[in-house]
Structure 1
Amino acid sequence: MAGQVLGEYLSHFLIVFAGGAIGGIARLLISNNVAARFGHAAYGTFAVNVSGATLIGIGAGLIGAPSSSPANFLWLLLISGVLGSYTTVSSFSLQTLQLFHDKRTSAAMLNIVGSFMACIGAAAIAWCLTLILSGGTQW
């Protein structure tokens, strides 16, 4: 029994690990390209956070909540793995503190409020639209 539980945990870890590799690479490519285009790392982080929030909304709409069903594999791979390593709240926090340190208080506050509102809004809109378009239940 204990071996079976350990094997299940190990398979979950490997699924999340594989997804994390994909998400980390995607984060690097997207954030670096956006930052290079707009001249500051905060823009890349903002783009990753908003797109990640949108994707997690779509994932929640299509996959549903995590469970012991076969959808659990998709949740572990895509939500916990890919999007867990793709989104960048830790980078967001550090870059916001750097803006405060550089005495760019308005930019720091705009980054906080803008990121929060855009990410929550993107996730909510994506989730609702995905449910509607897939014929699922309404919010």
Structure 2
Amino acid sequence: MTMLLIALGAAVGAPLRYLTDRAVQARFGTAFPWGTLTVNVAGSTLLGFLVGIPVSPAVGALLGTGLCGALTTYSTFSYETLRLARSDRPGRALGNALLSVPATLTAATVGYALAQALP
């Protein structure tokens, strides 16, 4: 049952990541990976919130592992940072790394704090 919940969450998270990335790229261009940053911050916020509630194992599998796991993407963050560095944009590559890591950690902390603030 847990695997099915993870698969269902991922079936929503992966297309949501793709559509969000495309929408952000259409608005802001592709010079910097704002779409990947957006989904990683959103997913980190949601996961922090879920951990802070806490949720049942079933909800954790569906939303935490499935949805957030497919929505967020460390591999794409790594690839895009490398792509920027290799395309003579080392400043943007460094900026992506220096912005993404603290932004996602902060987002998870904020999500957790919001959950803890609930009555």
TM-score interval (norm. to shorter): over 0.9
Equivalent residue number for residue 9 of structure 2: 19
The within-5 A match list for 1:104-115 is 104-115=89-100
Inter-partner Cα distance in structure 1 for 2:76 and 2:26? 16
Report the number of matched residues.
118
Q: Which secondary structure does the structure 2 equivalent of 1:117 belong to?
A: helix
List gaps (5 residues or longer) in structure 2: none
Shift of 1:63: 2.4
List gaps (5 residues or longer) in structure 1: 1-10, 65-70
The within-5 A match list for 1:1-139 is 11-40=1-30, 42-63=33-54, 71-132=56-117, 134-135=118-119
Inter-partner Cα distance in structure 1 for 2:70 and 2:110? 22
Inter-partner Cα distance in structure 1 for 2:71 and 2:110? 20
Q: Which secondary structure does the structure 2 equivalent of 1:63 belong to?
A: coil
Inter-partner Cα distance in structure 2 for 1:90 and 1:102? 18
Higher deviation after alignment, 121-130 or 92-101: 121-130
What's the TM-score, normalizing by structure 1? 0.81
Inter-partner Cα distance in structure 1 for 2:114 and 2:12? 25
What's the TM-score, normalizing by structure 2? 0.94
Shift of 1:21: 0.2
Inter-partner Cα distance in structure 1 for 2:47 and 2:2? 19
Q: Which secondary structure does the structure 2 equivalent of 1:82 belong to?
A: helix
Equivalent residue number for residue 7 of structure 1: none
Inter-partner Cα distance in structure 1 for 2:65 and 2:48? 13
Structure 1 consecutive aligned stretches of length 4 or more whose deviation exceeds 4 Å = none
- Preserved contact between residue 61 and residue 130 of structure 1 (Cα < 8 Å): yes
Letter in 2 for 1:43: W
- Preserved contact between residue 63 and residue 74 of structure 1 (Cα < 8 Å): no
Q: Whose radius of gyration is greater, 1 or 2?
A: 1
